[in-house]
Structure 1
Amino acid sequence: MSREFHIEAQDYSRFTFSRDGRILTAWITSDHPVNGVDEPMHEELARVFTDLQRDTGSDIIILAAKGRAFCAGGDFDWFQEQVDHPERFRDIAWDAKRIVSSLLDMEKPILCRLHGAAAGLGATIALLCDIIVADETAKIGDPHVKVGLVAGDGGTLIWPQLIGFARAKELLMTGDMLTGAEAKDLGLVNHALPADQVDAKLGEIIGKLTANPKWAVRWTKTVTNIPLRALMAQVMDAAIGWESVSNTLEDRREAVAAMAGKRAPKFTGE
């Protein structure tokens, strides 16, 4: 007999959880106005998907967020700490890999309910889910370059697989944001709908999934993710390594200072 395990909210400070039968929703919930990633959230992201997989009371996961944004990328106070103390950036490399690997290793279907902004790591997490249902006015993009960083935490892995290399490289190198509707047109997300229709669409998809045999669904997903897991093993060490190097550069320091000062950056190429 398998051992019972239930994910518990008291083990997390940046997530809350709700259940509807065998459907478990993990809500990104923080005091940050746009659910920016700080050190505690980064650590919790590195273990929450493993705990969701282990949870014996659920078969399907919805990843959603409280507040006005899904997850708008890195918190700027944390960025400044990383600039001032590069060893802290180095120390999160293992967790950065685990966020991506644990999402791709999940057998349970995971659906993303996307609203507000999903930027940087927030966008990566959304796009690594199996089915993404977005508010058509949501904003999604990977603006790592705008804060002086290589898009090393999974963006360079998943974006080209979804929309092709040419479009992915343009968006990753410019840091441009897309609306949910634009993302749907590119094939980046599955569905983009008015906000008041998102939950109904999620319910429709869940109904289709639960009407099929559970293990057939899980293992079909598992097999489909094999190439992504192999690609992750090929690229993530280099991606995180180059991102760590970019965190030490003068233009990174200037990008963070300019955002803190609400002014235009003055990049030198260093």
Structure 2
Amino acid sequence: MSQSIQKEIHNGVATLTLNRPEVFNSFNREMALAFQNELDACENDASVRAIVITGSGKAFCAGQDLKEVTTPDLNPGFKKILEEHYNPIITRVRAIKKPIIAAVNGVAAGAGANIALACDIVIAHEKVSFIQAFSKIGLVPDSAGTFFLPRLIGFGKASALMMLGDKVSATDAAEMGMIYKVTSLENFQTEIKKVAVTLAQMPTKALGMTKQLLNESMGNTLEQQLALESKLQIEAASSEDYAEGVAAFVEKRKPNFKGQ
């Protein structure tokens, strides 16, 4: 496995740690491809029922490694960076039918911020900041930032943050609906573990279908969404976890979901 991505699996939770702390976990080609490989492995591993993405050191992810794009012998070019690095990462994050938590442990800037925002649940501690840093160097937002951020916080606020490149504290991000929750620094790891383990013990198939419904809702009409809800609800009702959930409710006990 690449040293730029660390993976641990415990209690049904796979934790993927971006591991280039000396450059604030910014992406180069090697890390981007390794990250995709690890996401694929998590998707295909039945023992993994929830995924946590976090960073090592002081940052979550500072986006693109600018040294790579300013070094002629290393520069893949922006076409390759977008089509082979970031776009496939975002596609995977949304397509994997398992809950993905962004555990934002430090600054999340540029593509790093937008990868976090593409996750199902975003939790940050109080000292974290989010920055749409693209305009500071003459670029436009990528990694689906222009897709997700307006839907999370509204068109006008997203436009301002992207054009001005303002730094947004985790507290402000939570208040504006950009992220799910902000914690104290001391409680951050405990909260991440609690949420991740909770998700890993839930009916994974139903969570995956919920994710699919949310994805499709971005472009569906009301009629299309109602039809898809009906289709997936019928599938969910035939699952082993539904049978277990109903039995546990009737028997007044805690359900033991298997993700099937």
Query: Do they fold alike, i.e. is TM over 0.5?
Result: yes
Question: Which residue matches 1:91?
Answer: 80
Deviation per CA, 1:52-97: give whole Å up to 9, x if none. Answer: 2112321111111111100012222123137x99872222332232
Question: Which residue matches 2:202?
Answer: 212
Aligned length: 219
173, 178, 182: which one pairs with 1:183?
Answer: 173
Structure 1 Cα separation of the partners of residues 75 and 55 of structure 2 = 30
RMSD of aligned residue pairs (Cα, Å): 2.2
102, 106, 113: which one pairs with 2:92?
Answer: 102
Alignment of 1:36-115 (within 5 A): 36-81=26-71, 88-95=77-84, 96-115=86-105
Equivalent residue letter for 2:181: H
Q: CA contact under 8 A between 1:52 and 1:61: conserved in structure 2?
A: yes
Identity %: 26
Q: CA contact under 8 A between 1:17 and 1:26: conserved in structure 2?
A: yes
Per the alignment, do residues 57 and 163 of structure 1 end up closer, same or farther by CA in structure 2, a change over 3 Å counting?
same
Q: CA contact under 8 A between 2:126 and 2:184: conserved in structure 1?
A: yes
Deviation, 1:136, is 1.2
Per the alignment, do residues 140 and 14 of structure 1 end up closer, same or farther by CA in structure 2, a change over 3 Å counting?
same
1:167 aligns with 2:157: yes
For structure 1, which runs of at least 5 residues remain unmatched after alignment?
1-9, 231-270
Deviation, 1:164, is 0.8
Per the alignment, do residues 149 and 184 of structure 1 end up closer, same or farther by CA in structure 2, a change over 3 Å counting?
same
TM-score computed with the length of structure 2 as normaliser: 0.77
Q: CA contact under 8 A between 2:21 and 2:57: conserved in structure 1?
A: no
For structure 2, which runs of at least 5 residues remain unmatched after alignment?
221-260
Equivalent residue letter for 1:173: M
Per the alignment, do residues 31 and 79 of structure 1 end up closer, same or farther by CA in structure 2, a change over 3 Å counting?
same
Structure 1 Cα separation of the partners of residues 42 and 15 of structure 2 = 10
Per the alignment, do residues 86 and 32 of structure 1 end up closer, same or farther by CA in structure 2, a change over 3 Å counting?
closer
Classify the secondary structure of the residue corresponding to 1:118: strand
Per the alignment, do residues 220 and 57 of structure 1 end up closer, same or farther by CA in structure 2, a change over 3 Å counting?
same
Deviation per CA, 1:134-164: give whole Å up to 9, x if none. Answer: 0111011211111111112221111111101
Q: CA contact under 8 A between 1:104 and 1:229: conserved in structure 2?
A: no
Alignment of 1:232-251 (within 5 A): none
Deviation, 1:115, is 1.5
Deviation, 1:176, is 1.1
187, 197, 214: which one pairs with 1:197?
Answer: 187
Structure 1 Cα separation of the partners of residues 6 and 98 of structure 2 = 19
Structure 2 Cα separation of the partners of residues 87 and 123 of structure 1 = 22
1:222 aligns with 2:234: no
Classify the secondary structure of the residue corresponding to 1:32: helix
Question: Which residue matches 1:126?
Answer: 116
Per the alignment, do residues 86 and 112 of structure 1 end up closer, same or farther by CA in structure 2, a change over 3 Å counting?
closer
Q: CA contact under 8 A between 1:23 and 1:58: conserved in structure 2?
A: yes
Question: Which residue matches 1:6?
Answer: none
Per the alignment, do residues 31 and 135 of structure 1 end up closer, same or farther by CA in structure 2, a change over 3 Å counting?
closer
